[in-house]
C-alpha cells in the first residue's frame, strides 16, 4: 500500500475518482486504464477511486469491476491506494462487491449512500455497517444526497464512526455547517467530494480531496493542500482562485462527460461513454476548452 497512510489520512490526501476507459466498441479498455492510472499517480495522486460514479459503475458488470481493480493494482498498486467503489442500493449486492474487491486486492472501499429507495437513517446505519463487517478493508463513506436522495445525518455519521473499519467520509453534501459539526464530532477523516469546496472544506478540518478535476490538475491540487497544511493560506487561496474556471468548466454538464472529453483532448485514454451517458456536444467541448485554458490547463 502507498506509504502516505496515517490514521489522520488513511487514503492519503489527493485522490482522483478515475474514469473507466472503454474501447471504440464499448468494451472495457484495461490497457488504457493502466496507462491512465499510471499517468494520474505520476502526476501526484496518493490514490485512485475505481468503479465510482465517475467510473460509470452503474453500467459495468461485476466481472468488469473486478478486472478493472485488478488491472489498476497491477499498474500502480505499489505506489498508490486503490479504493474500489462497491456501493449500491442493495445491501446484499454491495457486500458481494466488497468481498470481490477484497479478494482482488483492493486497499479500501468507497461506499455510497443507497440511492433511489431512500432508506431511513437506521437503514443507512445497518447498510454501511453490514458492508464494513463483510471484509477487513477500511471504508470511506460517500455522502452525496443530491444523487442518492438522502443525506447521512451527522448523528448517523457519529454512530458509523464507532465501527473500527469505517475511517473516512467523502463529503459531497455541499453544506459547510453540517460538515463542520460532523468533522468535530465524528473523528472521521474527511475528504472533499465537491471540487469547488476543496479549500473551504480544508478550512473546517478536511484532510484531502476525492476529485474529478484531478484528471487534469492533480499537481495544482497537490500544491493547494500542501500550501494549506504548511500554513500558507494565501498561496492555497491563490491556487483555489486560479482553478475556479476548471472547477466550473468540468461541471457545466455531467462530470464524467467533460472528463472524458478533456482526457481525449490531451491524448489520454478515455474512449466513449456507455448509455445512458452521452458524449459532449461540439459546443460543450469548445466551452470546455475555454474554461480549461482559463485555468491554465494545457491541451
Residues annotated as catalytic (active site), given as ranges: 142, 170
Cell numbers for 34, please give them: 493502466
What are 196-200's contacts with CB under 8 Å, separation 24+? 196/244, 196/247, 196/248, 196/251, 198/224, 198/225, 198/240, 199/224, 199/228, 199/236, 199/237, 199/240, 200/176
Q: Is 59 among the annotated ligand-binding positions? A: no
CA distance 165 to 137: 7
CA distance 210 to 44: 13
Cα-flanking dihedrals φ and ψ of residue 298, to 5°?
-85, 130
CB-side neighbour CA atoms (13 Å) of 10: 23
CA distance 76 to 215: 16
Q: Is 82 among the annotated ligand-binding positions? A: no
Give the distance from CA 85 to its chain's centroid. 9
Give the distance from CA 262 to its chain's centroid. 17
**DSSP one-letter string for 101-130:** HHHHT-SEEEEEPP-SS---HHHHHHHHHH
In the annotated binding site for pyruvate, the residues are: 54, 210
Annotated binding site: 54, 210
Amino acid at each position: 500500500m502507498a506509504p502516505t497512510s496515517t490514521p489522520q489520512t488513511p487514503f492519503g490526501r489527493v485522490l482522483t475518482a478515475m474514469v473507466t476507459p472503454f474501447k471504440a466498441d464499448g468494451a472495457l479498455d484495461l490497457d488504457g486504464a493502466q496507462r491512465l492510472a499510471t499517468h494520474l499517480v505520476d502526476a501526484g495522486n496518493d490514490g485512485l477511486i475505481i468503479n465510482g460514479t465517475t467510473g460509470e459503475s452503474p453500467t459495468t458488470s461485476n466481472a468488469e469491476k473486478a478486472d478493472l481493480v485488478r488491472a489498476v493494482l497491477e499498474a500502480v498498486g505499489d505506489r498508490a491506494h486503490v479504493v474500489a467503489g462497491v456501493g449500491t442500493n442493495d445491501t446484499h449486492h454491495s457486500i458481494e462487491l466488497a468481498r470481490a474487491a477484497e479478494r482482488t486486492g483492493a486497499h479500501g472501499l468507497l461506499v455510497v449512500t443507497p440511492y433511489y429507495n431512500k432508506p431511513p437513517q437506521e437503514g443507512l446505519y445497518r447498510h454501511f455497517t453490514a458492508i464494513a463487517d463483510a471484509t477487513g478493508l477500511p471504508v470511506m463513506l460517500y455522502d452525496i444526497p443530491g444523487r442518492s436522495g438522502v443525506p447521512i445525518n451527522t448523528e448517523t455519521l457519529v454512530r458509523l464512526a464507532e465501527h473500527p473499519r469505517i475511517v473516512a467520509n467523502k463529503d459531497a453534501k455541499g453544506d459547510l455547517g453540517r460538515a463542520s459539526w460532523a468533522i468535530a464530532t465524528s473523528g472521521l477523516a474527511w475528504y472533499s467530494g465537491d471540487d469547488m469546496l476543496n479549500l473551504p472544506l480544508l478550512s473546517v478540518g478536511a484532510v484531502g480531496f476525492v476529485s474529478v478535476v484531478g484528471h487534469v490538475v492533480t499537481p495544482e491540487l497537490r500544491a493547494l493542500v500542501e500550501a494549506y497544511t504548511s500554513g500558507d493560506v494565501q498561496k492555497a487561496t491563490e491556487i483555489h482562485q486560479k482553478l475556479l474556471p476548471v472547477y466550473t468548466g468540468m461541471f457545466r454538464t455531467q462530470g464524467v462527460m467533460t472528463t472524458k472529453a478533456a482526457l481525449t483532448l490531451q491524448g489520454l485514454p478515455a474512449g466513449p461513454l456507455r448509455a445512458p451517458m452521452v458524449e459532449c456536444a461540439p459546443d460543450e467541448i469548445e466551452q470546455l476548452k475555454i474554461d480549461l485554458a482559463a485555468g491554465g490547463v494545457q491541451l
